[in-house]
Amino acid sequence: MSEASSLIPITVNGEHREVEPTVTGVQLFDSDKSVIAVRLNGQPRDLYTPLKAGDFVESIDINSKDGLAIMRHSATHVMAQAVQEIYPQAKLGIGPVIEDGFYYDFDVDKPFTPEDMKEIEKRMQRIIKSSQSFRRRIVTEDQARQEEADQPYKLELIDSAEEAIDQGKDTEVSQGQLTMYDNCDREGTVVWTDLCHGPHLPNTRYIKAFKLQRTAGAYWRGSEKNPMLQRIYGTAWASKEDLKAYLQRLEEAAKRDHRKLGAEMDLFSFPDEIGPGLAVFHPKGAAVINAMKEYSRIEHRKNHYSFVQTPHITKGGLYETSGHLQWYKDGMYPPMHLDEEKDANGKVIREGFDYYLKPMNCPMHNLIFKSRQRSYRELPLRLFEFGTVYRYEKSGVVHGLTRVRGLTQDDSHIYCTREQMKGELTSLLSFVLKLLKDFGLNDFYLELSTKDEHKYVGSDEIWEEATRTLAEVARDSGLDLVDDPGGAAFYGPKISVQARDALGRTWQLSTIQLDFNLPERFGLEYIAADGTRQRPVMIHRALFGAIERFFAILLEHYAGAFPAWLAPVQVLGVPVSEANSDYLKEILDRLDESLVRCEMDASDDRFGKKIRNASKSKTPFILIVGDDDQARGAVSFRFRDGSQLNGVAVDNALAWINQAITSHQQINSAADFCSATDASLSEEN
């Protein structure tokens, strides 16, 4: 046999090649040290995985999303090895990759201390410098059990894996088969082993920059019925520069944490007397919420929405019709059994009903549509409500305003004909993006969530039509579109708008869901032009999503320094002396008459301290009045960056403030103020 005939054909990064049958990714990408793994026929695999004829091989760079995930997962193995070297009796849980990092769960005698973390980190550095390689082994169930005999959590994972393998599913430790990963020293001696499906780095020295961040208690597999384990969180990056930049982002994010700012700015709180996840908004926080709502109301009126209002509680039968009880009962508050009647002997003479706190608005909007006969001439019918709903989130999941139990949705349900559907979706997406931009968010991409094969209603044909239509509308928008397989609600696919904030973090905001199924379940109909009864198409749309969560996102995006139109206090008056207070109050009263949100510092503090306090308040306009201003019928401006406009005539000042608020621009300086108004930096009156 000739040498050429012994070669096998493969495709490498789109290029056809003939290679030796013993070749692996190690040889294919030997000249590029940034390649740490391969995508083999679409699946991430170790760099030394054997190849066969016909394979499609793509390189995975350590800086890519997949590359970072592989490096971080390898870092979890290094961390677990370090823990077991220091604490030999530690039992291992799981060590998955999470956004920007990783964690591993351990069963140890006592929680880890900061000193323990430092020691573990030093041991990890020693392991990394030793250039241990990661080597994969396929094992049988018996072999795995024998090797993990003293690891109860791993034995439980083996049980789950065997069942999943029989069903053709993957688990934390298996992808069609059970595998172990050995950490081997330079002589090839196995120094540590873990049950894992991989893939991993070629060796530990590819972990260039890492840091252990914190510890926390975590129930095994998230269930309070299981033991409490100790979780160590860490992060790893492709370079020290990337790690430093990430830690700086975290530091800035901590400064912007909406819970911290909410307390500092007196915006909202979560009283223990009310319960977890149930916020109360203080006057300043409510001022922002009301500004958000009012602007949204105006824009919805311009776009021909009809406002509705529905109750907070309903009979459970409504959610049986919609299907929500079947799919979401665990996330709803328990029912209240009411309206039962008994006679004098205690015998039930009238059965009661289960009532539920409202977890969503769409079933009630369907009843509004169904309340009378509808004509095609009424369509599209756009119903809109600021509807407060209640969802039972577990205590460990509740997080500030971003995950609450009581939330207000800016909820719309649009009923249209099949022919109107695509045009309505297109205009709806444009409307959503326009409003989000008005609130200062400008960096978007779209996500298309498709059918969960285990959780849906309706025919495959309807789902295919709905998904295809949404995909066409999303692509026509010109924004990047990424897939979210299986992420749809049970009744239809959706587009979600993903927005990046000032720190580059991504938030899911508006959602647009196309639904052929709830109209069917509720028997919704309209009279078509030919006199026949037809089923409408239903579009679910939440623009802010939850107002509380959107408030938190904006608070962090602006670091509390809201645009003037949204700011909880738009103008803060600071008199130089008490003698100037009455004059300044008259100015603020005039602003108050035009609904500008004003406050005055009437404290006994010295003027210098008042100015320092005002600078910390994040108020867009600080009005200062001294004797010279008062004598000239003027006022002076101070802005967030410390710049000033002095001696501005009062009438001009009031007109410019109103003009600046109306402009919706972010104003942090005198220059910003002048560009948004008719003001001049040379103004001296």
Do residues 21 and 8 make contact, with C-beta atoms less than 8 angstroms apart?
A: yes
Element (H, E) at 669: none
Do residues 570 and 661 make contact, with C-beta atoms less than 8 angstroms apart?
A: yes
Do residues 613 and 264 make contact, with C-beta atoms less than 8 angstroms apart?
A: no
494 classed as catalytic: yes
409 classed as catalytic: yes
Q: Is 664 flagged in the annotation as binding?
A: no
Helix/strand/coil for 36: strand
Catalytic-labelled residue, pool 231, 324, 413, 638? 413
How many angstroms separate the CA atoms of 446 and 349, rounded?
Answer: 55
- Neighbouring CB atoms inside 10 A of 342's CB total 11
Buried b (16+ CB within 10 A) or exposed e, 155-185: eebbeebeebbeeeeebebbbeebbbbbbbe
413 classed as catalytic: yes
How many angstroms separate the CA atoms of 323 and 285, rounded?
Answer: 36
Q: 88 — alpha (psi -120 to 50), left (phi > 0) or beta?
A: alpha
Catalytic-labelled residue, pool 72, 77, 197, 362? 362
Catalytic-labelled residue, pool 55, 116, 194, 411? 411
Task: List all residues 6 or more positions away from 658 whose beta carbon is below 8 Å from its beta carbon.
Answer: 594, 596
Q: Is 184 flagged in the annotation as binding?
A: no
Q: What DSSP state is assigned to residue 90? A: P
CA distances, 595 to each of 11, 331, 666 (Å): 68, 41, 19
Q: 528 — alpha (psi -120 to 50), left (phi > 0) or beta?
A: beta
Catalytic-labelled residue, pool 197, 300, 358, 391? 391
Do residues 484 and 470 make contact, with C-beta atoms less than 8 angstroms apart?
A: no
Catalytic-labelled residue, pool 39, 73, 494, 557? 494
Q: Is 540 flagged in the annotation as binding?
A: yes
Catalytic-labelled residue, pool 132, 409, 534, 666? 409
Residue type, 158: I
Could you give the residue numbers annotated as active site?
A: 362, 391, 409, 411, 413, 494, 540
Residues that constitute the known binding site for Zn(2+)? 362, 413, 540
Binding-site annotation, residues: 362, 413, 540
